[in-house]
Amino acid sequence: MSTDFSLNSGMARDKLYGLSKLKQQNQQQVQEQQQQNQVMQQPATSTIQWTQAAQAVEQVGNQNVQNQARGLEIQAPNLEDVAMLTSTVSTKEESIAHMVGQKIISHLGINVGALKEKFKEYYRQSKSHNLLLERFMANVKMSGLNAMLTLAGLSADEIEHTKAEVREEALKEIDSKLQQDWAYAKAMIEIVG
Amino acid sequence: MSKKRKKAQDLIITEVKNQLLLQAERWGRKDYYTPLKLEEIELEQCNKIVGEFLAEKSNLEYELHMLESDKKDVLAKMERLQIYLAKSARVAKKHENNIGKIIQQKIGDREKINAAVNKVDKKSAISVLISDN
């Protein structure tokens, strides 16, 4: 059989009929895949749909190769066409990674509230006057906790808000300590001796 | 009090101050605790201590006149309190002078500034008298 497909009046009738049937079947398959590739309005599935679409294209591509081996050439939609085929895209923030992260956190039995408290504590210690403690907390523990908190579902805004709260508390404490522990003590030592 | 003990106390006080200032710097307050600010905090605490001593003095006076307690003991306490009050007033005065010096350093020579201000702002020679008529 020739590799190029072309409808020729000189071809045998049964062969022509068979080839046209095959072409119809392939067109039906492509239409079904296009329907599958349409993105539904479902949350947290945007990444999966793109991967599904890519897999569908690959399958069609593989089929294309098989058809070429049989001597047929069928135009299958490319990856660029898949982008054009999808009309709507889900833009919700919560993605598969978030859901998986929350599942992992709940499976490990980690309390998000306790994690938040630990984060506040370590953030406080990461600004300590003790150089070793400050470096260790800031580089090791904070980076780990940040990752855990994002996995648990806390947004960057929430983390920043928590950090601002801790900062306010710490500055108030420093102010009161300067007044009480330093200035008052110094004055009493000067007066009383 | 021995010199060694006083030196140790001064060391601790200085270390506490340095650590707190370092923490404040790490939290973002770099130039907030200036020498002027620290002097003001010290003056505030001195005045607080003076207030506490005055309250204690009024309590002792009440005890002396109203309550049937050992008067010699109360009088001795009042004498010591008077010494501390005088000392605290001197310490507060010292801090006030320090604040004045820091402000003076920032402002500069007052006479030169007044001369410069007089040159810039020329006062009008005409004076207007306003009467009831």
Chain B residues touching residue A170 (CB < 8 angstroms): 23, 27
Chain A interface test: which of B45, B48, B85, B99 (most A C-beta within 10 Å): B45
What is the band of A9 on the pLDDT scale with cuts at 50, 70, 90? low
- CA triplet A7, A10, A16: central angle to 5 degrees? 45
CA angle centred on B65, ends B61 and B67, rounded to 5°: 100
Question: CB neighbours (10 Å) of residue A123?
Answer: 22
For residues B33 and B23, the answer to whether their CB atoms sit within 8 Å is: no
Tell me whether A7 touches chain B (CB under 8 Å): no
Percentage of residues of chain A with pLDDT beyond 90: 12
Higher-confidence position of A175 and B118: A175
Model confidence at A35, pLDDT cuts 50, 70, 90, reads low
ipTM of the complex: 0.79
Lowest average pLDDT, out of A4-13, A124-133, A167-176, B22-31, goes to: A4-13
Query: Cα dihedral sign for A5, A10, A15, A17?
Result: positive
What does the pLDDT look like over B39-67, one tens digit per residue? Answer: 999 999 999 999 999 999 999 999 888 88
Q: Which residue has the tokens 């504590």?
A: A121
Residue A71 DSSP symbol: T
More confident residue, B11 or A115: B11
* Helices (runs of H) and strands (runs of E) counted in chain B: 4, 0
Q: Do B45 and A127 touch (CB under 8 A)?
A: no
Residue B20 has pLDDT above 70, yes or no: yes
A134 touches chain B (CB under 8 A): yes
Q: What is the sign, positive or negative, of the torsion defined by CA atoms of B115, B121, B125, B127?
A: negative
Q: How far apart are CA A170 and CA B20, in angstroms?
A: 11
Q: What count of other Cβ atoms lies within 10 Å of the Cβ of residue B83? A: 11
Is the whole model's pTM more than 0.95, yes or no? no
Give the pLDDT band of residue B112 (cuts 50, 70, 90): confident
Q: What is the mean pLDDT of residues A171-177?
A: 93
pLDDT band for position A184 (50/70/90)?
very high
Residue B63 CA to residue B72 CA, distance in Å, equals 12
Rounded to whole angstroms, what are the CA distances from B23 to A153, B78, B110? 31, 41, 37
Q: Which percentage of chain A shows pLDDT scores above 70?
A: 55
At residue A4 the predicted structure's pLDDT band, cuts being 50, 70 and 90, is: very low
Burial class (CB in 10 A: 0-12, 13-18, 19+), A182: buried
- What does the pLDDT read at residue A155? 82
